[in-house]
Structure 1
């Protein structure tokens, strides 16, 4: 999600779909991840990275489960989306742990950031179904490309203060629609991230404007769907400064 700060979100990702949902395995059980989130993420979405580090054996077992069981064509759309959202958020935590302690995800990697080359989101530091992948691949090449649901931007968490709240439960197919709507309400009604009554929004609504305006929608329609205060002066929206500090407890 955060990559949009560095590059056009429409940029192509060669080879992203070569994971091809090859296997006909049953959908992944996310309960182990759910337990870790409940244990190490508070109601504000702040993460106890030291706690994750202490439990990294269990955490890495969950990541291994993801790695060995890519979505199959037989899975429902909700099962596939829940898998990829959980994978994005879990591997983001793993990326932070790989470099912990850090003050910001942007501190990881080369100080000279070349979009899709040297940003932390472009690093292919994990494998799924035998294919080396990056966080970019999941967000832009799979979720945004294949599922046509802008609500993913309320669910993907780039380990930063201005990101949406990291949910302290795993996304699941059965609850996905409700969870995504809940994330939207939480994000739009958090005054540190959006102030619709003052026509001040998160940069997400600028970075991903093409997603919010697709299919006859608009930024104003999406904001008004979830915000308690309607968006005033939608033609004069400004964007709040993005806080990249680590979302740590």
Structure 2
């Protein structure tokens, strides 16, 4: 009888142990499930109390910003401000293009400041073609006036020794002269109307415009300068069957034939049609100073 009681006691203890183990296993399972659910839930961070480390980790999770466009691709690339040159022209150049060299000589400070600014802000690859053209057209005209002032009084630019080959101005690391600007920089840009915008300080040259050229208005300004020059009877005489032209059209004939004949170029800017068979002659060139 005592053996039966002993055996019963053992069975009861085994049962209790089994139940305890089962309960412990169930508790562990519930705890693991809770942990997994917690891990899958996005924590809410109170930004008012978040630590710098938490803010840093949150920023990393944001999508990256779109890359900024390079300067070359940007439509707002920085260009040169020609307003000082515009003021100089308005003050010292008449509507018909005569230059008051005496006044400029007596007060050259504004011109010197403008040229100094040009030499320290040369065009880059980021500039548009229009901005580069405007820059070098204005530079050519300003340097031509500066050349005259350095040799003033003078009756003609041709009275100066090698006027177009004098390397008087340092642009960045390069010393520039007028010939280089015209023939190595401007003409290769294949815009023939530059010949009516750059001025060699002479009566037979196109008139010096008393407004600075700018990138935003360049097309209008070049067209206006071309029409004014062609319609000036002291520079050109045009009829349907014959033309008496400035020698500019002879010296730079190839520039005006980039897309067609010389007559075709002229017809773009005249109020009547010049015949392709029109006879062309060239006027004498007056190199006297444009004052």
| TM-score band w.r.t. shorter chain | 0.7 to 0.9
Q: Which residue of 2 aligns with 1:189?
A: 231
Deviation at 1:232, TM superposition (A): 5.0
Root mean square deviation, CA, Å: 1.4
How many residue pairs end up in the alignment? 213
Q: Is the 8 A contact 1:151 1:184 kept in 2?
A: yes
Q: Which residue of 2 aligns with 1:83?
A: 135
Residue 285 of structure 2, aligned match among 234, 242, 248: 242
The aligned runs of 1:45-60 (5 Å cut-off) are 45-60=97-112
The aligned runs of 1:6-155 (5 Å cut-off) are 26-109=78-161, 119-145=162-188, 147-155=189-197
Asked if residue 201 in structure 1 is aligned to residue 245 in structure 2, the reply is yes
Q: Is the 8 A contact 2:133 2:186 kept in 1?
A: yes
Q: Is the 8 A contact 1:161 1:244 kept in 2?
A: yes
- Of stretches 47-56 and 64-73 in structure 1, the one that deviates more from structure 2 is 47-56
Specify which structure has the bigger relative contact order, considering alpha-carbon pairs within 8 angstroms and separated by 6 or more residues: 1
Distance of 1:201 and 1:228 partners within structure 2: 16
- What is the TM-score of this pair, normalised by structure 2? 0.71
Instruction: Summarize deviations over 1:101-143 as a string: whole Å, max 9, x none.
Output: 111000001xxxxxxxxx2111111111121110011100001
Larger Rg, first or second structure (1 or 2): 2
Distance of 1:208 and 1:233 partners within structure 2: 19
Q: Which ranges of structure 1 fall in alignment gaps of 5 or more residues?
A: 1-24, 110-118
Q: Is the 8 A contact 2:115 2:143 kept in 1?
A: yes
Q: Is the 8 A contact 1:199 1:232 kept in 2?
A: no
SS at match of 2:175: strand
Q: Is the 8 A contact 2:263 2:276 kept in 1?
A: no
Alpha carbons of structure 1 residues 196 and 73: separation in structure 2 relative to 1, 3 Å: same
Q: Which ranges of structure 2 fall in alignment gaps of 5 or more residues?
A: 1-76
Q: Is the 8 A contact 1:196 1:223 kept in 2?
A: no
Alpha carbons of structure 1 residues 233 and 76: separation in structure 2 relative to 1, 3 Å: closer
